[in-house]
Amino acid sequence: MQSQEQNILEIKKLKADKNAIILAHYYQTGDIQDIADFVGDSLALSQKAASNSADIILFAGVKFMAETAKILSPEKKVLLPDLMAGCSLANSCKASDFKKFLNENPGRTVISYVNTNAEIKAMSDIICTSSNAIQIVESLPRDEKIIFAPDRNLGNYVLNKTGYDMIIWNGTCHVHEEFSLEAIIRLKEENPDAKIIVHPECELPVRMVADFIGSTSALLQFTKKDPGDCYIVATEAGIIHQMRKENPDKMYIPVPPIDSTCGCSECSFMKLITIEKILNCIKFEKPEINIDQKILIKAQKPIIRMMEISEKLGL
Ligand code: 13P
Ligand code: SF4
């Protein structure tokens, strides 16, 4: 068996030989973020997937992200090192249930979070991410009636910020709904100067104690620009790798979930991806993401609409 350093060298060589790129989400482990060609949040990763000159995109993330890359670049081979890398939030919105929900609530513009399967995107009018959800809603006329799916926490956050008429699907992310408010309060007592920074997928009580709420990239930007030197971080702990790289002298404390002894919060789906699986994936060009052509074509429109609105707004 070869060492991790040898695995990484082989990945780099195969990447160059095959004109492949690795796109990694901030929730991947630090070693994976460090070998990636591009690391970002869901919006930046979609933008990168739509404009690159590689023949192969290897996605170090979860399935809905790799599907989005395939929808945006159907001519490219898109690989995901482990097809079991799903998402509890995407799984909370099944196509048959969503179809029924849309039929029960006709005449509304359907905004779906990127954390959905391709079938849900194909039933949507516009996609959003946590970076642009407010701006996507506000791009519509003030009296537009909206369905927002599937994250109820992000949906309620956007509803409170915009005041639009929104019906919200009742889905959640198993990582973000589990952060312990008690632990946050205790950490704040122990570190009174620390700022509490929170992803909008968190539950309301956690959002209410936040000094700053934002997507992973917004949280990263905040820790870069803010004059403070200590942060209580309520999102998946992988983001702390980039925060430490950008500002190694600052302190970052991951918020633990309600029921945990490990002291950190990790997405079990994101963490299915490993360096070894990436090596096998790029070597054998499997598993590959393939999407039914009809669904792919339908899903393209709402994603492109999001990209156009985001580009116009400089996001
Ligand atoms: P962003 O990448 O938009 O911050 O979303 C976080 C997330 O939960 C991705 O699964
Ligand atoms: Fe899905 Fe939550 Fe994991 Fe993001 S952190 S991929 S929303 S389960």
Q: What is the pLDDT of residues 150-185, one digit of tens each?
A: 999 999 999 999 999 999 999 999 999 999 899 999
CA–CA gap between residue 255 and residue 220 (Å, rounded): 16
**Which stretches does DSSP call E strand in 187-229?**
195-198, 212-213
pLDDT at residue number 258 = 86
Q: Ligand 2 centroid vs 267 CA: distance in angstroms?
A: 6
Residue 259 clears pLDDT 80, i.e. is over it: no
Q: Which of 117, 202, 267, 273 to mutate to test the pocket of ligand 2 (most atoms within 8 A of CB)?
A: 267
271 DSSP assignment: G
CA of 296 to the centre of ligand 2 (A): 22
Question: CB neighbours of 76 closer than 8 A, spacing ≥ 6?
Answer: 54, 55, 56, 57, 69, 70
Quick one: 81 and 96 in the same domain? no
Q: For residues 48 and 72, give the distance between their C-alpha atoms in angstroms, rounded to a whole number.
A: 10
Which of 27, 63, 65 best tests ligand 1's pocket when mutated (most atoms within 8 Å of CB)? 27
CA of 86 to the centre of ligand 1 (A): 13
Residues 49 and 100 in one domain: no
**Closest residue CA from atom 10 of ligand 1:** 115
Mark whether 115 and 70 lie in a shared domain: no
| Domain assignment of residue 265, yes or no | no
What residues make up the domain containing 73? 4-86+270-290
Does residue 264 lie in a domain region?
no
- Region 75-98 average pLDDT: 97
66 and 211, same domain (yes or no): no
Residue 163 belongs to a domain with what CATH number? 3.40.50.10800
Give the model confidence (pLDDT) of 274-283 as tens digits. Answer: 999 999 999 9
pLDDT of 261 higher than 90: no
The Cα 253–Cα 187 span in angstroms is 8
Indicate if 165 and 301 belong to the same structural domain: yes
Whether 192 maps to a domain, the answer reads yes
Same-domain status, 65 and 10:
yes
pLDDT-derived band at 6 (thresholds 50, 70, 90) equals: very high
Q: What is the pLDDT of residues 121-152, one digit of tens each?
A: 999 999 999 999 999 999 999 999 999 999 99
- Single out the residue of 84, 90, 116, 117 nearest to residue 277, CA to CA: 84
Check residue 263 and give its pLDDT. Answer: 60
For residue 228 the two structure tokens come to 């403070």
Task: Indicate whether 56 belongs to any domain.
Answer: yes
- Calculate the average pLDDT of the chain: 96
Question: Does 201 reside within a domain?
Answer: yes
Q: What is the largest CA-CA distance in the chain?
A: 62
How far is ligand 1, taken at its centre, from the CA of residue 76, in Å? 24
Q: Which ligand is nearest to the CA of 62?
A: 2
- Identify whether 262 is part of a domain: no
Percent of the chain with pLDDT over 70: 98
Same domain, 107 and 247: no
Which percentage of the chain shows pLDDT scores above 90?
Answer: 96
pTM of the model: 0.96
Q: How many domains does the chain have?
A: 3
Same domain, 170 and 38: no
- Collapsing DSSP to helix, strand or coil, 128 comes out as strand
The CB of 162 under 6 Å from ligand 2? The reply is no
Q: Whose structure tokens read 């990636």?
A: 36
Q: Please report whether residue 260 resides in a domain.
A: no
CA of 179 from ligand 2 middle (Å) equals 13
pLDDT, tens digit (0-9, with 9 covering 90-100), for 198-227: 999 999 999 999 999 999 999 999 999 999
